[in-house]
Structure 1
Amino acid sequence: MTVPTFQQLMLPLLTFLNDECEHGYAEAAGALKVALAVSDADLAELLPSGKQTKFMNRLYWAKVHLSKALLVETTTPKAFRLTKRGISLLNEKPETVGMQLLLKFPEYRAFRNGKQSASAALVPSEEVVEETPEEQLEAAYRTIRQNLEQALLTHVLKAPPAFFEQLVIDLLIAMGYGGSRRDAGRAVGKNSDGGIDGIISEDRLGLDIIYLQAKRWHSNVGSPEVRDFVGSLVGHSASKGVFLTTSSFSKDARDYVRKVPQKVILIDGSRLAELLVDYGIGVSDVIAYHVKKVDTDYFGTE
């Protein structure tokens, strides 16, 4: 099965807490994993940020919503338990517990109304809420980033060849290759098809070299071009190469580089745009959101 949504975790969490004892997140996660038959792979699945597992994030938000309905209470920074209201709800034997059911509690309605007035985008109607706020935030970020990468690649394709050369040099330096800007500028030169090629240092000391070829193309790069590129590595006494294009590589081209002894990296337009954003080339910061959490260690341990 996939990772349960935070709403799907609500009833199992209440059921687990029905011993009137205090429990922590780790203990609850272990019990719910067994109760819901969550696989180890699903349990280990991370949010796109890589900072937390989806399961623990959704468990946290299930507990938040239950707490706002006064069904669960926090006893210490790291522990919580079922309330009398929570026990009473379980005695009603509900088939499921979700946001819609929680709306019958005035405290929860107040919480939701307050959230909606502050940020309606994070609290859509109950029928469609499946993701936690972190997941919604990351999904919105991915959409913004994808649009940015597409726009960035369009600008790169429309820019003159001289600008493309400068962009590649800026990216290489930002990534730690090419030595100084002057060295990188000398090593990289224009070729006849509007692209660039050259030999760059892998590090500032020039202990190893990388042969580079970049093509500002709209059409795909096929295996003949990649074969010629690999052949050039030998002529330049280079065992490593980077072939960069604003378009994409054919399947034959990608298959070919896997078979040669030289280490060849193919960077297509999509990957190029990702790297430009990652290293801040051709983009600028607009706004930053810092998501914080309570530091339970600051308040002491259980």
Structure 2
Amino acid sequence: MQSALRAELLERIVQNSPAFFEQLIVDLLIAMGYGGSHKNAATQLGRSGDGGVDGVINEDRLGLDRVYAQAKRYADTTVGRPDVQAFVGSLVGHHGATKGVFVTTSTFSSQARDYVKHLAQRVILIDGDRLTDLMIEYGVGVRVSRRIEFKRLDEDFFAEE
């Protein structure tokens, strides 16, 4: 059931617009505890001339540090090192940033994964599988349809001292 849900999530994400995908990434980061609330946490930058960054979110409620996000909504295209390198270049060159998240609905090449391991900046790569796992874990784009509860004896309740 979990793998079917993951596949369905990816299919629906790819069917929606790039702007929807960028908002999804911001929503997910907020659900994960970055930035506090939608009102003041995130600014979407997904317009032409955005310097290679699709969104920025405060890392904490005070905005002491920011996390920049890049979102690539691909069905079958593997994201390679050149795309990741361009994102890192925009982080450093345009924004002076030290932290970034690059999210795709597809996969990253091994060269792209190796590239981010040796950077001075902290760049996290999230592929389609990890994206859907995080969406399920943090309740973004999903809802509980049925919950099963099992009861067992509470030993502490019956312990006399």
TM-score range, shorter chain: 0.7 to 0.9
User: Which structure 1 segments of 5+ residues have no match?
Assistant: 1-143
Residue by residue over 1:203-253, the C-alpha shift from the partner in whole angstroms, topping out at 9 and shown as x without a partner, is: 111011111111111201000111111112212111111001111100000
**Count of residues in correspondence between the two structures:** 155
Task: Please give the secondary structure, in 2, of the residue aligned with 1:221.
Answer: coil
Structure-2 separation of matches of 1:297 and 1:255:
51
For the pair 1:156 / 2:13, whether they are aligned, the reply is yes
Task: Please state how far the C-alpha of 1:260 moved relative to its aligned partner.
Answer: 0.9
1:222–1:252 Cα contact (<8 Å) kept: yes
Residue by residue over 1:29-56, the C-alpha shift from the partner in whole angstroms, topping out at 9 and shown as x without a partner, is: xxxxxxxxxxxxxxxxxxxxxxxxxxxx
Q: What does residue 231 of structure 1 align with?
A: 89
Task: Please state how far the C-alpha of 1:292 moved relative to its aligned partner.
Answer: 2.7
Residue identity matched to 1:170 = D
The runs of at least 4 aligned residues of structure 1 exceeding 4 Å deviation read none
1:165–1:196 Cα contact (<8 Å) kept: no
Partner residue of 2:2 out of 145, 154, 173: 145
Counting only pairs closer than 5 Å after superposition, residues 16-95 of structure 1 correspond to structure 2 as none
Structure-2 separation of matches of 1:215 and 1:283:
21
Task: Please state how far the C-alpha of 1:147 moved relative to its aligned partner.
Answer: 1.2
Structure-2 separation of matches of 1:238 and 1:247:
25
RMSD of the TM alignment (CA)?
A: 2.0
For the pair 1:190 / 2:42, whether they are aligned, the reply is no
Residue by residue over 1:75-111, the C-alpha shift from the partner in whole angstroms, topping out at 9 and shown as x without a partner, is: xxxxxxxxxxxxxxxxxxxxxxxxxxxxxxxxxxxxx
For the pair 1:204 / 2:61, whether they are aligned, the reply is yes
Partner residue of 1:247 out of 106, 129, 132: 106
155-164 or 215-224: bigger deviation: 155-164
Structure-2 separation of matches of 1:163 and 1:239:
26
Q: What does residue 215 of structure 1 align with?
A: 72
Cα 1:179/1:264, change in 2 over 3 Å: same
Cα 1:196/1:146, change in 2 over 3 Å: farther
Residue identity matched to 1:296 = E
Residue identity matched to 1:242 = V
User: Which structure 2 segments of 5+ residues have no match?
Assistant: none
Q: What does residue 30 of structure 1 align with?
A: none
Task: Please state how far the C-alpha of 1:155 moved relative to its aligned partner.
Answer: 0.5
Cα 1:277/1:170, change in 2 over 3 Å: same
2:30–2:38 Cα contact (<8 Å) kept: yes
Q: Identity rate of aligned residues, in percent?
A: 54
Task: Please give the secondary structure, in 2, of the residue aligned with 1:294.
Answer: coil
For the pair 1:272 / 2:141, whether they are aligned, the reply is no
2:56–2:68 Cα contact (<8 Å) kept: yes
Cα 1:196/1:232, change in 2 over 3 Å: closer
Task: Please give the secondary structure, in 1, of the residue aligned with 2:54.
Answer: strand
Residue by residue over 1:149-201, the C-alpha shift from the partner in whole angstroms, topping out at 9 and shown as x without a partner, is: 1111110011122322332222122112244323355x222256xx9613221
Task: Please state how far the C-alpha of 1:300 moved relative to its aligned partner.
Answer: 2.6
For the pair 1:180 / 2:33, whether they are aligned, the reply is no
2:74–2:105 Cα contact (<8 Å) kept: yes
Residue identity matched to 2:11 = T
TM-score (norm 1): 0.48
Cα 1:176/1:297, change in 2 over 3 Å: closer
Structure-1 separation of matches of 2:47 and 2:109:
22
More helix by share: 1
